[in-house]
């Protein structure tokens, strides 16, 4: 079985000679410059976040590396080091708080990430970091694995990440943790009453048939945590075909599923005392003679009928069947992740996933962890006043209100119709992509709101 969780490449136990690496705040440079090598002072090192000073020994070799951390608040300040420092092994100086040391270690590994699966030339070797003292290694390891899993799944072209390949990725993570899996594929979706997932995915080639992937893990009597992911392996828009520009990035339209799977990995790897369920609706929104058409009406799993006024609003369609099932056994918390709307990106940009929830404490805790972990999400309203925009003249719901006003809100309101008011539920409309690279966060597929939701869940269920 292909292994989808990457091994870490930059964090090492190797002893031997390691170059000392010291984190230096701007305040230290201002008030205690005498504690720094003369070279740092004479070369104008100010301790600005991300700045680096290679201090030489008498023989010209690097004696010590100073890394500026500014005011100490930017967890990514050191994350470019794995690619910017000369090859070798570095050792963080003692006395760094475990939390900061863990952030340095995680950033080091995440900053070294490259998606080189299709590159003929090997990636240049990265600088390595000795595991810092006092950090929770298992936690850093699983967070790095989880983030890189999202990146790899999203970056993989749709040709190699269709519904069947996405299922294989889930299988490999499930096998690692002894989780059980059941998968309903193709026309079996009709028998099992997932009519809308079937309708969206039915136009794809037979080897890319739609499916619902259902994972279970953990003791049955533990509190139920259920995750749902939008796994649209490619979104052409269907018959309401996207233009070339908007279609270009649509290999990433399974980013929600990637987030759900990565969070499931975190939960299972940490042994969180929950009964975990993860549902991924994996489809390709394709064009063929069997495509769903604008104006078609489908009766969903829940019984509500849905008019497809735009075949490009397919995410909310597959999620309505998955959410109805997810809601049916009354989970203690239900979370869904989806690259659902262009409107969320217009409202908040690529870095701030839009959070919708019927539970104020989930919103408060997730937003607070987002700021603390530098993995922000931003709450948007489930504005009941806009519910009437989803009215259809022929069915219970319209999947794509005309005009597109408040597009991410109406999409979230659509999903809400399939969740009981009594179920604590949150929906993350996530971009899953870095348009440009920054320290620790290369351009391409990205996990957003993942470390913060993990921190929130751990608080709740540990
Ligand atoms: N996958 C897209 C949403 C998307 C587009 C996410 C670009 C990130 C970047 C989704 O299936 C879609 O096409 N949504 C439409 C909905 C509309 C037809 C109501 C959109 O947002 O334009
Ligand atoms: Zn679409
Ligand atoms: Zn989509």
251-280 confidence digits (pLDDT tens):
999 999 999 999 999 999 999 999 999 999
Say if CB 201 and CB 236 are below 8 A apart. no
CA–CA separation, 229 vs 70, rounded Å?
A: 38
pLDDT tens by residue, 341-389: 999 999 999 999 999 999 999 999 999 999 999 999 999 999 999 999 9
Confidence check: pLDDT of 61 > 90: yes
pLDDT of residue 303: 98
pLDDT band, residue 126 (cuts 50/70/90): very high
Confidence check: pLDDT of 134 > 90: yes
| Residue nearest to ligand 1 atom 13, measured at CA | 312
Mean pLDDT of 31-60: 96
Test site for ligand 1: of 341, 403, 407, 448, most ligand atoms within 8 A of the Cβ: 341
Mean pLDDT of 242-255: 98
Average pLDDT, the chain: 97
CA atoms within 13 A on the CB side of 403: 6
Confidence check: pLDDT of 15 > 80: no
CA–CA separation, 247 vs 233, rounded Å?
A: 12
CA–CA separation, 305 vs 247, rounded Å?
A: 28
The ligand whose atoms approach the alpha carbon of 249 most closely is 1
Q: What angle do CA 178, 179, 182 make, to 5 degrees?
A: 135
pLDDT tens by residue, 283-298: 999 999 999 999 999 9
Say if CB 168 and CB 152 are below 8 A apart. no
Domain map of the chain by residue range? 11-135, 141-461
Comparing CA positions, the residue from 311, 288, 150, 279 lying closest to residue 209 is 288
pLDDT of residue 16: 83
Mean pLDDT of 34-43: 95
Q: In Å, how far are 80, 82, 140, 147 from 128, measured between CA atoms? A: 12, 6, 15, 19
Confidence check: pLDDT of 281 > 90: yes
Sign of CA dihedral 39, 44, 49, 54: negative
Mean pLDDT of 22-51: 96
89-92 sheet: strands from edge to edge: 11-12, 128-130, 89-92, 19-24, 62-68, 52-56
Taking the centre of ligand 2 as the mean of its atom positions, its distance from the CA of residue 422, in whole angstroms, is 29
Q: Is-catalytic flag, 316?
A: yes
Pick the CATH number of 141-461 from 3.40.50.720, 3.40.50.1820, 3.40.630.10, 3.90.1170.40: 3.40.630.10
Comparing CA positions, the residue from 278, 282, 250 lying closest to residue 262 is 278
CA–CA separation, 422 vs 345, rounded Å?
A: 29
Q: Is 353 a pocket residue for ligand 1 (Cβ < 6 Å)?
A: no
pLDDT tens by residue, 93-121: 999 999 999 999 999 999 999 999 999 99
Whole-number CA gyration radius for the chain: 24
Q: In Å, how far are 34, 63, 250, 386 from 39, measured between CA atoms? A: 11, 11, 50, 63
CA–CA separation, 354 vs 44, rounded Å?
A: 42
Q: Is 321 a pocket residue for ligand 1 (Cβ < 6 Å)?
A: no
Count of CB atoms situated within 10 Å of the CB of 445: 26
pLDDT of residue 158: 98
11-135 and 141-461 in the same fold: no
pLDDT of residue 3: 85
| Residue nearest to ligand 1 atom 19, measured at CA | 400
| Residue nearest to ligand 1 atom 16, measured at CA | 313
CATH number of 11-135: 3.40.220.10
Q: Is 345 a pocket residue for ligand 1 (Cβ < 6 Å)?
A: yes
Q: Is 167 a pocket residue for ligand 1 (Cβ < 6 Å)?
A: no
Confidence check: pLDDT of 399 > 90: yes
Comparing CA positions, the residue from 418, 423, 447 lying closest to residue 351 is 447
Say if CB 199 and CB 298 are below 8 A apart. yes
pLDDT band, residue 14 (cuts 50/70/90): confident
| Residue nearest to ligand 1 atom 3, measured at CA | 341
């Amino acid at each position: 079985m292909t292994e989808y969780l990457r091994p870490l490449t930059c964090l090492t136990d190797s002893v031997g000679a390691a170059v000392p690496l010291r984190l230096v705040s701007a305040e230290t440079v201002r008030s205690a410059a005498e504690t720094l090598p003369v070279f740092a002072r004479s070369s104008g090192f100010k301790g600005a976040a991300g700045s680096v000073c290679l201090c030489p020994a008498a023989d010209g070799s690097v004696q010590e590396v100073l890394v500026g951390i500014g005011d100490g608040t930017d967890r990514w300040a050191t994350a470019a080091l794995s690619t910017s420092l000369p090859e070798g092994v570095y050792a963080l100086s003692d006395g760094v708080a475990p939390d900061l040391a863990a952030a340095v270690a995680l950033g080091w590994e995440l900053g070294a990430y490259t998606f080189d699966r299709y590159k003929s030339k090997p990636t240049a070797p990265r600088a390595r970091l000795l595991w810092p003292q006092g950090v929770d290694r298992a936690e850093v390891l699983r967070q790095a694995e989880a983030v890189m899993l999202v990146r790899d799944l999203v970056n993989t072209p749709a040709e190699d990440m269709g519904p069947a390949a996405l299922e294989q990725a889930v299988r490999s993570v499930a096998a690692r943790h002894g989780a059980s899996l059941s998968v309903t594929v193709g026309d079996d979706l009709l028998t099992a009453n997932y009519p809308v997932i079937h309708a969206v995915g039915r136009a794809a080639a037979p080897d890319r048939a739609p499916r619902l992937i259902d994972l279970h893990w953990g003791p049955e009597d533990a509190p139920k945590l259920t995750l749902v992911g939008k796994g649209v392996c490619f979104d052409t828009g269907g018959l309401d075909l996207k233009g070339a520009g908007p279609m270009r990035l649509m290999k990433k339209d399974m980013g929600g599923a990637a987030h759900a799977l990565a969070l499931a990995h975190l939960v299972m790897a940490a042994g969180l005392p929950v009964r975990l369920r993860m549902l991924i609706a994996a489809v390709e929104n394709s064009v063929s003679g069997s495509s769903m058409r604008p104006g078609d009406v489908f009766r969903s799993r829940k019984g509500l009928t849905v008019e497809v006024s735009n075949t490009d609003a397919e995410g909310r369609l597959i999620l309505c069947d998955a959410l109805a099932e997810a809601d049916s056994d009354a989970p203690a918390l239900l979370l869904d992740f989806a690259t659902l709307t262009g409107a969320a990106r217009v409202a908040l940009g690529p870095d701030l996933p839009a959070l919708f929830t019927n539970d104020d404490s989930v919103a408060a805790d997730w937003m607070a962890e987002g700021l603390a972990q530098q993995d922000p999400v931003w709450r948007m309203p489930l504005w009941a006043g806009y519910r009437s925009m989803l009215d259809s003249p022929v069915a219970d719901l319209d999947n794509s209100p005309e005009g597109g006003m408040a597009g991410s809100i109406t999409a979230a309101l659509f999903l809400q119709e399939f969740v009981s008011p009594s179920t604590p539920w949150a929906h993350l409309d996530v971009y899953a992509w870095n348009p440009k690279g920054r320290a620790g966060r290369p351009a391409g597929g990205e996990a957003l709101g993942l470390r913060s939701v993990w921190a929130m869940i751990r608080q709740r269920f540990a």
